[in-house]
Structure 1
Amino acid sequence: MLQALAYFATSSLSRRAAYASSGDEPGQDPTYTLTPLTWGVIGLVTLAFVPLFVQTLYTLASVYPTLAMVEDPTSAPYEAVPSDDNGATFAAADETGDAVVQGSKVPSPITASILRTHRYLRSVNGRWADFRGLLVAITRFVLVMIIITVVKLVPFVPMAMCNLIAQLAVVQFSTAWVHVVMDADPRSVSLRHSLTPFRRTFKATCLPVFFRWLASSIVGLLAMLLARMMHIDGHTDNFLYDLESFSHSMIWKKTIVSIVTLVGTFVVVVPTDVVLTRVQASLLPADAKTVVPFDRSFEGTVKPAVVDGLDYVSMLDAFRTFSRASWRRLLMLYVNVFLLTVVVEVAYIIILALTIVMTNKPSPAV
């Protein structure tokens, strides 16, 4: 949606600048070229925004939610809340993260806020802590693309099934990414050593992966059917990008589809993502130390393999042991991440649009 706004803003503002410079009527699109200066400034602006894009689209959208999904709030570090002269309280953490207020501890999960999570990770792992697991994520993405490309060569295999097959094929790497993100010192963990056995990993995660894929497919199909019912012509997977032909009614229709898709994602996709992540986390090696408090037993539901042969959490227990408070914390995290992402991308859009307007060179009308 934001990329669509970027396209609309830049194209619209560019045309307005061209109209003003060439004297053409608004109904007649003049021809214009982007000067080398314009391209150079666009490149510099984009390059300057790359770290922010990685921070929002990877760290905030993937790393922090994953930590929130696996953190056990009942054993989280604590913030001190000392009393002032008037008996009021205020937050102040000590070096260990533990403190006492009138003889009792006040809990505050690490993932209670974006800023707290950022500060904690940086204090533990340094300036690159926010980008933990990035190499594994890139490796997994490349493998998924390769597998999808190969499977697409098989006749009569729909694209959705290609994606499912690829996701099931890389369950080791998906699980390894979760483990690296959770690790107390991700820099000391190599990709080879973070891979759990494929058979065990597949057995534990194949159903969660399937339901995660199914949830995403349902939401995508719902958006497509709703778009067709509302007579949004030329609907494709990226129909939101076609903004030049927007009428007021079309804007409202596509806004409704976007809202339904967003709500469907939170209601249907996010719960399956929570279950999958927690099942993957239950496969963490016993000797691994985690950066956030983590209940390996999942409230006693995970038994040793010698007892019942299942040493990882089931889908039902992964969902049931995620408390209501944790759901609220995760929801607020997603809301804040969305708002920050909007701020970053809108800032990029505005700067890009102004760059094109100020440096654009109209060509003589033919």
Structure 2
Amino acid sequence: MSLSTHLVRRGFDVAHHGMVAATAGPEQPGEGESPQVSPLAALIFLLSGLICVGLLFSVGYTYGHLLPILCMVESPETEAYVPVGTIEPTDPPAYSATPAPKPTNGQPDDLEADTEGDAEVLLVRNKPFTASIRQTILHLRARAGYWSRFRGLSMFVVWNIICGVLISIIATIFPNRLGVAFAAIVAETALATWHMAWVHIVISEPSEKRWYKRIPSIRTWPKIAPAVALWATTHQVVSILPMLVCGSFGSLKHMDNPHYQPGRKDLYAVGGQGFLGFSLMVALFVLLQIPATVTLVRVAASMLPEEDETIVPFDRTFGGKTTPAIIGGQGKIGLVEAWRSFPWASRKRLLRLMVKVTLIFLACWLLATIVLVAEAHILFGDKLGEMMKTLHGIARAHH
């Protein structure tokens, strides 16, 4: 759901080649025998890698999925007249206060009937919880406990496993990258009600219902499927298009050629193409992925069951643009209105959150890289170069 998600996906692609290499046989044609390393050293390095993957996944799930979704549904600002004595001071204040207005035209002001003056009643404007990452985490912990940062994880895992199986089955018809993308769109759309149920779990107060009981009936599939199909399509465009563009020219076009001998100038070219690909991915993410994700989340939120309360302030009517199904309405918001009803203040808040999350994830990624590189030098020593050559040959053979 976020830019860090695409970065995680790139990292998992690299990790996949590493696992393939680790499970391959000791000898590959043309590569010679694999270097012999200490089993203890290999075990330590493997455990360190698993810990780093777990760290990156937890950061990506909490900060890259949960927080942006809450930001997409939270109302920009709430207002209320509150007696001064009930407000607990904080530093910095979590609200902005304005003295209550004086009565006009000689009409009595009920808000001030029990107070001694204007200073006793304040108009409190509560800032959104998602304006601050720390405030959001503290709010979730207060309402749903410490492990609320992983709320919906069980369903997320099962849903993605089933989706992965469907993608593998459908992709056998078109065994190429575009075929996999098409299979992903079809699988995600088929499981649209699962996606909606996961969004409901994330945005609602804790419930005693098991996650599989919160999956809506198949009759709701036509209502949510268009939003999921739009999201899945943009997700694949952001993932594939930068690679196709950058891999169609220059040095990257020849990387699969075993006879290609790159020089120093090719190193600079690869760096430039990599920067171009990253810039294109960011641009597509902002212009396509964010609007599609906001649309999906808000359409799903509009169909939240009446008995479920949201964990952050949320206007179920979207400013009067929806009519509940109980009184004859559709009970959902349209795709266009879902995006249009997302105010500019919330869009700016979401972009700031995305930037913060990306920086946090990149910092964790850099830390994990430094740790693993240092361990590799310490544990494998002089055999590290031979291992890198072997891994490159195996990965190219399985590409």
TM-score (norm 1): 0.78
CA-to-aligned-CA distance 1:309-363 (integer Å, 9 cap, x gap):
4110111111111000100111011101100001111101101111111222435
Decide whether the 8 Å contact of 1:178 with 1:280 is kept in 2: yes
- 2:375 partner amino acid: T
Name 1:351's counterpart in structure 2: 371
- C-alpha offsets along residues 158-205 of structure 1, whole Å, 9 cap, x if unaligned? 32221122111111110110000012115x2312321112222x2212
Amino acid at match of 1:132: R
Aligned to 2:59: 56
Pairing 1:130–2:133 present: no
Q: Aligned with 1:73: secondary structure?
A: coil
Task: Indicate the SS of the match to 1:91.
Answer: coil
Which residue matches 2:92? 91
Alignment of 1:157-196 (within 5 A): 158-186=179-207, 188-196=208-216
- 1:73 maps to 76
Partner secondary structure for residue 65 of structure 1: helix
* 8 Å contact kept, 1:279–1:315: yes
The higher radius of gyration belongs to 2
Deviations 1:200-236, CA, capped at 9 Å, x for gaps:
2x22122112222332343345314421453221579
CA drift at 1:122: 1.1
Task: Decide which of 333, 338, 354 is 1:334's aligned counterpart.
Answer: 354
Task: Judge conservation of contact 1:73–1:326 (CA < 8 Å) in 2.
Answer: yes
The partner residue of 1:320 within 340, 344, 348 is 340
Residue 49 of structure 2 is aligned to residue 46 of structure 1: yes
Superposed, 1:182-331 pairs within 5 Å as 182-186=203-207, 188-200=208-220, 202-231=221-250, 232-234=252-254, 247-305=267-325, 309-331=329-351
Return the offset for 1:59: 0.8
Q: Aligned AA for 2:64?
A: A
SS of match in other structure, 1:360: helix
Alignment-derived partner of residue 148 in structure 1: 167
The residue that corresponds to 2:105 in the other structure is: none
**C-alpha distance in 1 between matches for 2:161 and 2:383:** 42
Q: Distance in 1 between matches of 2:322 and 2:384?
A: 73
Instruction: State the partner residue of 2:103.
Output: none
Counterparts of 1:146 and 1:64, CA distance in 2: 28
Q: Distance in 2 between matches of 1:33 and 1:81?
A: 73
Q: How many angstroms apart in 2 are the aligned matches of 1:292 and 1:261?
A: 31
Residue 330 of structure 1 aligns with an amino acid whose one-letter code is: L
Looking at structure 2, the residues matched to 319 and 224 of structure 1 have their Cα atoms a distance apart, in angstroms, of 28
Paired residues of 2:52 and 2:368 also in contact (CA < 8 A): yes
Tell me how far 1:108 sits from its aligned partner.
1.1
Distance change (3 Å), C-alpha of 1:196 and 1:360: same
Question: What secondary structure sits across from 1:145 in the alignment?
Answer: helix
CA deviations on 1:66-116 (whole Å, 9 max, x unpaired) are 11111112338999999xxxxxx94245xxxx7856523132101112111
CA 362–212 in structure 1, closer or farther in 2 if over 3 Å, else same: same
| Correspondences of 1:101-112 after superposition (within 5 Å) | 102=99, 103-112=122-131
Would the aligned equivalents of 2:299 and 2:333 in 1 still touch at CA under 8 Å? yes
- Looking at structure 2, the residues matched to 293 and 77 of structure 1 have their Cα atoms a distance apart, in angstroms, of 13
Distance 1:319 1:155, change over 3 A: closer
After superposing the two structures, state which structure 1 stretch, 31-40 or 345-354, moved more: 31-40
Alignment partner of 2:125: what SS?
A: coil
Q: Which amino acid aligns with 1:339?
A: L
Deviates more, 1:98-107 or 1:118-127: 98-107
Report SS of the residue matched to 1:303: coil
Equivalent position of 1:139 in the other structure? 158
Distance 2:79 2:292 in 1: 24
Q: How far apart, in 1, do the equivalents of 2:340 and 2:199 lie?
A: 20
Q: Structure 1 stretch 143-152 or stretch 111-120: which is displaced more?
A: 143-152
Alignment of 1:28-39 (within 5 A): 33-39=36-42
> 2-side partners of 1:250 and 1:172: how far apart?
42
CA RMSD, Structure 1 to Structure 2 (Å):
3.8
Distance verdict in 2 for CA 1:32–1:127, change over 3 Å: same
Change (3 A) 1:289 1:246: farther
| Structure 2 alignment gaps of length 5 or more | 1-6, 19-33, 100-121, 257-261, 387-399
- Contact 1:33/1:362 (8 A) holds in 2: no
Q: Find the counterpart in structure 1 of residue 107 from structure 2.
A: none
Work out the CA distance in 2 between the residues paired with 1:46 and 1:80: 54
Shift of 1:39: 2.2
Q: 2:304 is paired with a residue of what secondary structure?
A: coil
**Residues of 2 paired with 1:142 and 1:77: CA distance?**
45
* Identical amino acids, percent of aligned pairs: 25
> Per-residue displacement from partner, 1:255-311 (whole Å, max 9, x unpaired)?
111111121111111110110111011110011011111111111111133655411
- Alpha carbons of 1:361 and 1:143: their partners in 2 closer, same or farther (altered >3 Å)? same
SS at match of 2:63: helix
